[in-house]
Amino acid sequence: MADRTSVELFAGGGGLAMAVHRAGFRPLLLNEFARHACDTLEANGAKPRGEDEWVPELGQPWPLVAGDVQKLRLTYLNGRVDVLAGGPPCQPFSLGGVAKGDEDRRNMFPELFRAIREIQPKAVICENVRGLLRPSFKPYFEYILRELSLPFLERDPDSNWETHDAVLRETDLASVDPTKRYDVVMTPVNAADYGVPQIRNRVIIAAFRADLGVNLDRFRDLVRPTHSEAALFRSIRDGHYWERHPDVPKHVRDRVEATLPGTIPVDELSPWRTLRDAVNGDGDNGPLPKIPWNRLDRREYHVGGFTDHVGWPDARIYPGHTPNVMDRPAKTVKAGVHGVPGGESVLLTDERVKDETDPSGYRYRHRYMTVRETARVMTFPDDWKLSGPRGEKMRQLGNAVPVLLGQVFAEAVAGCLDEAVSAQ
């Protein structure tokens, strides 16, 4: 494959940037506003670009511009970028946010469109929350897709989005220079369906410059789900799942198997990966050590050589804050804006104690997930360094794109670009 290049806006803790890089794209620029996230990017090899506009050569560090994307100018990269990637801040569209949508000053989609105009990338990858698909936001979301298709038809700053949407609707696509319009594909996803050990419902938008003639059906084929809940259920029932986890106590296995549905559909997909799969490790990752109950003390110690695998006290279970269970994908990792840093980041362990108030006579002990466990749920590698206090690390993870999910879509974009070049 040719030397493919990328630019990442709203880079956060680096999940999508890492995914795009793994798919073969060389970052020419990263941009991020949050200080601790910028520190994370630097800790993993990014280098502040400074005021001078320069393009890195092969092997040079990723240039980082820390600060407001609204002040970032990218015209010096015009014609050099294969993929522009980024997830504009999702608070305006999140179920947990204030849901003001287009009226919210945190809406950064206009900056994404400006970046497209300035660099004319061959493709765009954008991730955001499923809240964009809510009925109340559907008209605005459809407007976003149309604006992404025609980013060079700029909105009059004195007009509202509905007026500009009418202009976009009336535009004859055939009359627009194909180097200045994009073919857009929107894919609702659950990260668990792609091998991520987490239930995470999102929307991923890909756009290809129209002059390239990319086969959109081919792209859709490349991003079809690869894992399923039914396959996980089957692997638990037939015992293959427990063969991977032979140390699970019988009372846990019995409890899990009692929750399986009577009839399980048959498919050809792989099983959903679970929180237990993430904690026990696979591939290059070994198992994470257990956190001793007497070490829920916030103290920085490195159990078994793993960083950020630190016990945290005072985890509670209460209505609306139920725990993760080990033999399902984890619940959605949140960014810490829902009360407890990291959201519902409590897990139910395999250890039980007697409790006469419970009908079974026992209750299972619970604790907070460690930052390292959460990073694994987001499919970050163990050697990825996270900067800041615990709450900020969890915020970065909650705002990130799971690396594996991003990689699936970035590799599909790379494959389609390669095929389009070959066909020309």
Which pLDDT band holds residue 40 (cuts at 50, 70, 90)?
A: very high
372-399 exposure pattern, b = at least 16 Cβ within 10 A, e = fewer: bbbbbbbbbebebbbbbebebbbbbbbb
* Same domain (yes/no): 116, 136: yes
From residue 55, give the alpha-carbon distance in Å to each of 50, 72, 124, 157: 12, 15, 20, 32
* Same domain (yes/no): 376, 320: yes
* Same domain (yes/no): 21, 135: yes
What is the pLDDT at residue 142?
A: 93
Higher-pLDDT residue of 285, 41: 41
Residue 309 token pair? 């695998």
What is the pLDDT at residue 99?
A: 43
pLDDT in tens, 80-97: 999 999 988 755 555 444
Please give the residue range of the domain that contains residue 72: 4-225+401-423
* Same domain (yes/no): 36, 153: yes
pLDDT > 70? residue 340:
no
* Same domain (yes/no): 212, 238: no
Element (H, E) at 30: strand 25-32
Would you say 162 and 168 are in contact if contact means Cβ atoms under 8 Å apart?
no
Which pLDDT band holds residue 102 (cuts at 50, 70, 90)?
A: low
Would you say 32 and 66 are in contact if contact means Cβ atoms under 8 Å apart?
yes
Which pLDDT band holds residue 285 (cuts at 50, 70, 90)?
A: confident
* Same domain (yes/no): 406, 335: no
Catalytic residues: 90
Weakest-pLDDT range from 67-76, 275-284, 323-332: 275-284
pLDDT > 90? residue 344:
no
* Same domain (yes/no): 164, 254: no
What is the pLDDT at residue 129?
A: 86
From residue 212, give the alpha-carbon distance in Å to each of 73, 82, 178, 182: 25, 11, 8, 9
Coarse DSSP helix, strand, coil percentages of the chain, rounded to the nearest 5 percent: 40, 20, 45
Provide the mean pLDDT of the chain: 91
Question: Averaged over 193-207, what is the pLDDT?
Answer: 97
Q: Which of 332, 358, 354 is nearest to 345 (CA)?
A: 332
Domains contained in the chain, number? 2
Which pLDDT band holds residue 360 (cuts at 50, 70, 90)?
A: confident
pTM for the whole structure:
0.93
What is the pLDDT at residue 341?
A: 44
pLDDT in tens, 142-187: 999 999 999 999 999 888 888 999 999 999 999 999 999 999 999 9
* Same domain (yes/no): 309, 352: yes
Calpha distance 190→203 (Å, rounded): 9
* Same domain (yes/no): 206, 63: yes
Percent share of the chain, pLDDT over 70? 92
Q: How many CB atoms lie within 10 A of CB 76?
A: 14
What is the pLDDT at residue 92?
A: 58
Calpha distance 10→137 (Å, rounded): 22
pLDDT in tens, 325-337: 999 999 999 886 4
* Same domain (yes/no): 361, 418: no
What is the pLDDT at residue 380?
A: 97
Owner of token pair 């007497």:
294
Which pLDDT band holds residue 403 (cuts at 50, 70, 90)?
A: very high
Helix, strand or coil, per DSSP, at residue 76: helix
* Same domain (yes/no): 275, 203: no
Which pLDDT band holds residue 135 (cuts at 50, 70, 90)?
A: confident
Can you give the CATH number for the domain in which 155 is found? 3.40.50.150
pLDDT > 50? residue 342:
no
* Same domain (yes/no): 73, 154: yes
